Structure 1
Amino acid sequence: MKYFPIFIDAEHIHCLVVGAGEVAARKCELLLKTPAKITVVAPWVSNAVRELAKSEQLTLIEREFDANDLDQKQMVFVATDNEALNQSIHDQAHAKGILVNVVDNTPLCKFITPSIVDRSPIIIAMSSGGVAPVLLRYIRQKLESVIPHNIKRLGEFSEKYRDKVKQALGSVTDRRYFWEDVLDGDIGENVLQNNTSLASEQLQNSLNAYASGNKPAGQVYLVGAGPGDPDLLTFRALRLMQKADVVVYDRLVSNDILELVRRDAEKIYVGKARSNHTVPQEEINDLLAKLAKEGNRVVRLKGGDPFIFGRGGEEIETLVEQGIDFQVVPGITAATGASSYAGIPLTHRDHAQSVTFTTGHLKNDTIDLDWPSLVKPNHTLVFYMGLTGLPIICDKLIKHGMRSDMPIALVEGATRSEQKVVTGTLDTISDLEATKALKPPTLIIVGSVVNLHKQLNWFNK
């Protein structure tokens, strides 16, 4: 991060703008939204700047720049088309320790102005470090479209009661819980709808309850993190990840997804690799209960979907037994993620009218499944955790009547940039060199739908 993002109190800032063209006008318009004092120096003045100079906040001086113009200034924008002059003003300002920005010349900027979404008092500022302004504009347009304009009401409401809440609740954690409940619940909704009187009454009642120790108990959220691509997270999953005090996560949760967890949340790894359970399942169940009883908001972040080979059912059984509230947030399971990103539809009118999800996990060097029921026409099979047992899976399917040239696909790292897809047939796949190089997590898809991979593959051709 080359540029450190900060917000500067403009109450006592005196800013110099050198130049008075259209670019300078845009900077002045932005500065005029703050209480900063502004001086513009230029021998020629555009109509836009002359109009802005009608504000008592802005002083216009129509002459060439003079070194004395830097006196008593804390910030400088340079917006001229004279490169030598721009360089000279930059050097002088830098020597005096003044923040200087030479517009459209990143190497001569000691600070840069971000792209802004203004919902004052809520302000969102973004920067690309000057390297991708068009992309930044695109992101800002997206944010403008999804952030309601009246979100500023929540900002004003929070400002109004901030000191009162701080006096009533001494703990930073208690205050955070309180405000999250306010903003996420009925109070926040009433504020957005401009029902401020009702919202104020509700806030006071809620604050009294918190202050007397009747704050909400801890809760556990079982959240499906999907197969790996963070873009496949649900909105609800992301929101809960941002609220969590503690995140308990497994091996299949990608680093890109963990980056989206709230920065100050405690992260506890309980992943399981093949033949190596870092934390036994029973201990995970008890850990979730313990953390919730301590008053934490706990997110149990699981790769794929919590209820599809995620042992989520076992975990919430423990929570029910111990009287702990919980919610379940489904995620895109590995089967749908892998098949979609590999261009292999799990069902297709010409190939398969049904699909079975099963586990290929080895136990005592064998896989105990109802093999005859898995071998049927117009059907797709998906095996989770089956890479180690691949030779057994192929052998069992052939022995129970599936033709040996049935197409099969192995998908490693589904939906991620490093995704690999290896295809073959039941009698050849285990011997392929590409197969031997694969590592878990790898999903197995068996059926004639695999033949569509070459035609429909779109992700990493």
Structure 2
Amino acid sequence: MALYPLFADLRSRAVLVVGGGAVAERKAGRLLAAGALVTVGAPELSAGLREKAARGVVRHLCGRFEPHWLDGAWLVVAATGDADVNRRIAECAERRRVLVNVVDDAVLSSFHVPAVVERAPLVVAISSGGAAPALASHVRGRIEALLEPSLGALATLAQRWRGRLRERLPDAAARRRFFERCLLGPVADLLRRGRAEAAEAELARALAGPAAAPQGSVVLVGAGPGDPGLLTLAALRALGTADVILHDRLVSAEVLALARRDAEAIDVGKRVGGHRSQQDEIHALMLFHARAGRRVVRLKAGDPFVFGRGGEELEFLRAHGVAYEVVPGITAALACAAYAGVPLTHREHAQSARLVTAHCRDSLDTLDWPALAAERQTLAVYMGVAGLETLRARLLEHGRAPGTPFALVENGSRREQRVVTGTLAELPERARAHAVQAPALLILGEVAALAQCLHWFGAPPLGRATEPIREARAA
């Protein structure tokens, strides 16, 4: 069914809703929100509609449908739940040339109510022509994820300044360029950060002065551990508007595939024993592209502020006057533990969790080993595959029990995820036996034994059950 898309102004216009149940109440609510004068016709009303009728918000016609109810109506919604009554309403409306929507009956309807994404005054409507309402709802959800809430404030601001924009820039092409450069650039960035007054001041400054070079910015975005389904909505929006993406080696191809198609993707990953982009080179790339007026996304595996050097990068950007923001990501400790079925804390086994990095000998030497060896806590060790021998030795030396369970999660949350389990006493040997490679996260503590019975993603763990598992099952 080919439908003509139409946004109707129903302010102070009469609309009839026939039916008094939950569906009619929902339809009446949307119509009232649009400013319509709503009449509800039905023998009985839902509690919500009765309350609205008592307050005079809607007018109630008590009884079964009569053709004269349509007098003066611009639209009618048939929501009685009775197919014969709905058909009669549609026939009467057709004779009177009144548009009608019959709930769940596309054939009898002369207008359809779309699935809506609302960023008032910006509204996006989706329709399947009545063929598949569930599909329209699914598409609405996808669009909802991409459109940030601040777009409503941007639309309101543009509406308020529309006259001055037309006066200052009478040429339509010039207005479009200004909109793309200013309103979709720094003004939108300020609104997204909740700085409405600064956004309006920036718009006034840009409109009053000569055309200025576009201002670039950098967004530090956490890409999570690899599963693109774990990206936040804010991360998706940032990827969808990026001009340049500086990404780590561990950012998955599936995550990169969600970026804007014409964005320039630059691999700045640091590899042990291979090509290495030093941190100052990454700083230089961010500065170069931002000063060229580009929107830069610094895409980091996990979370930028958990062993991601995000703080250093913000300090650099601030020192050089580059606008920035941060989109957190799901860090590896949370994601790998969840995908391995390991709770980082547990009432019976662990009252705290520590996040530790062990990517080189120097970092191991600076750790508080007596505190790390304490029982009833969970250690989540990042970048520790190369230092497992030292890690075991130090923990045993400071009193951690040899039988403490561990779970090594390789490629956590990805299709190729593997989990190797065992005890601290055999940690390096089991890792070598299964050729565990980075990226891998080590979870050490009583809760790690739960991987054997609580795993849900990928292949079962490579290991054997240990005592805490039997205790957990008994509980």
Task: Give me the whole-angstrom Cα distance separating, in 2, the residues matched to 1:143 and 1:121.
Answer: 17
Deviating more after overlay: 157-166 vs 324-333: 157-166
Give the superposition deviation at 1:285: 1.6
In 2, distance between residues paired with 1:171 and 1:272? 43
Judged with a 3 Å threshold, the aligned counterparts in structure 2 of structure 1 residues 254 and 421 are, in CA distance, closer, same or farther, namely same
Match of residue 336, structure 2, among 329, 335, 338: 338
> Among residues 318, 326, 329, which one is paired with 2:327 in the alignment?
329
Deviation at 1:221, TM superposition (A): 1.8
Q: CA offset at residue 165 of structure 1?
A: 5.8
**Whole-Å Cα distance in 1 between the matches of residues 305 and 388 of structure 2?**
24
What is the alpha-carbon distance in structure 2 between the residues aligned to residue 340 and residue 412 of structure 1? 13
Whether 1:252 aligns to 2:256 is: no
AA aligned to 1:381 is: L
> CA 1:459–1:250 in structure 2 vs 1: closer, same or farther (change >3 Å)?
same
1:153/1:304 CA distance change after superposition, 3 Å: closer
What residue in structure 1 maps to residue 409 of structure 2?
411
Q: Describe how 1:31-430 pairs up with structure 2 within 5 A.
A: 31=4, 136-140=135-139, 142=141, 154=155, 167=171, 175-180=179-184, 181=186, 205=204, 207-209=206-208, 212-214=210-212, 217-363=215-361, 369-430=367-428
Q: 1:273 is matched by which residue type in structure 2?
A: R
C-alpha distance in 2 between matches for 1:433 and 1:204: 58
Residue 239 of structure 1 and its aligned partner are, at CA, apart by 2.3
Deviations 1:275-304 (A, max 9, x none): 334311121122212222222222111111
Structure 1 residues 40-83: Cα deviation after superposition (integer angstroms, max 9, x where no partner)? xxxxxx9979977998xxxxxxxxxxxxxxxxxxxxxxxxxxxx
RMSD in angstroms over aligned alpha carbons? 4.7
Whether the 8 Å contact between 1:361 and 1:367 is mirrored in structure 2 is no
Distance 1:384 1:365, change over 3 A: closer
Residue 241 of structure 1: how far off its partner (Å): 2.3
Paired position in structure 2 for 1:451: 449
Residues 18-37 of structure 1 correspond to what in structure 2 (within 5 A)? 27=1, 30-31=3-4
Q: What secondary structure sits across from 1:432 in the alignment?
A: helix
What amino acid maps onto 2:181 in structure 1? Y
Encode CA deviations 1:362-395: one digit per residue, 9 max, x unaligned: 3489866443332111121111111222233223
What percentage of residue pairs aligned between the two structures are identical? 40
Change (3 A) 1:152 1:249: closer
| Offset of residue 438 of structure 1 | 2.9
Contact persistence 1:165–1:207 (CA under 8 A): no
Contact 1:422 1:434 in 2 (8 A): no
Whichever residue aligns with residue 264 of structure 2, its letter is E
Does structure 2 retain, via aligned residues, the 8 Å contact 1:117–1:140? no
Bigger shift: residues 319-328 or 304-313:
319-328
Q: 1:121 & 1:356 partners in 2: Cα distance?
A: 45
Q: Is the 8 A contact 1:117 1:143 kept in 2?
A: no
Q: Distance in 2 between matches of 1:251 and 1:393?
A: 25
- For 1:434 and 1:165, how far apart are their aligned partners in 2? 68
| Distance in 2 of aligned mates of 1:185 and 1:321 | 20
User: How far did 1:134 drift?
Assistant: 7.6
Code of the aligned partner of 2:217 = Q
Q: Could you say if the C-alpha distance between residues 374 and 162 of structure 1 is closer, same or farther in structure 2, counting changes exceeding 3 Å? A: farther
Going from structure 1 to structure 2, the CA distance change for 1:374 and 1:202 (only over 3 Å counts) comes to closer
Count of residue correspondences: 360
* C-alpha contact 1:357 1:381 (8 A) present in aligned 2: yes
- Once residues 308 and 404 of structure 1 are traced to their aligned partners in structure 2, the CA distance between those partners, rounded to angstroms, is 29
Trace 1:6-21 onto structure 2 (pairs within 5 A): none
Q: CA deviation at 1:417?
A: 3.0
Return the offset for 1:446.
Answer: 0.5
| Structure 1 residue 264 displacement after superposition | 2.2
Residues 336 and 204 of structure 1, relative CA distance in 2, 3 Å threshold: closer
Deviation at 1:245, TM superposition (A): 2.0
Change beyond 3 A, Cα 1:135–1:334: farther
Residue equivalent to 2:54:
none
Query: Conserved in 1, the CA contact under 8 Å of 2:244 and 2:265?
Result: yes
Q: 1:163 to 1:335 in 2, by over 3 A?
A: farther
User: 1:137-161 deviations in whole A, cap 9, x for unaligned?
Assistant: 440453698879x969949959996
- Report the alpha carbon displacement of residue 311 of structure 1 after superposing the two structures with TM: 1.3
2-structure distance, mates of 1:359, 1:294: 35
- How much has 1:170 moved relative to structure 2? 5.7
Cα 1:144–1:239 shift into 2, 3 Å: closer
| Matched-pair contact (CA < 8 Å) for 2:357–2:381 | yes
- 1:331 Cα offset (Å): 1.8
Instruction: Structure 2: give runs of 5+ residues left out of the alignment.
Output: 8-86, 98-113, 461-475
Alpha-carbon spacing, 1:134–1:384, altered in 2? closer, same or farther (3 Å):
farther
TM-score (norm 1): 0.63
Q: Is the 8 A contact 2:217 2:324 kept in 1?
A: yes
Q: Which runs of 5+ in 1 are unaligned?
A: 1-26, 35-45, 56-114, 192-197
Alignment-mate amino acid for residue 142 of structure 1: G
CA distance in 2 between counterparts of 1:265 and 1:308 reads: 26
- Flag the 1:433–1:271 CA change in 2: closer, same or farther, 3 A: closer
Measure the CA separation in 1 of the matches of 2:189 and 2:359.
Answer: 41
Amino acid aligned to 1:449: V
The answer (yes or no) to whether the contact 2:219–2:326 under 8 Å persists in 1 is yes
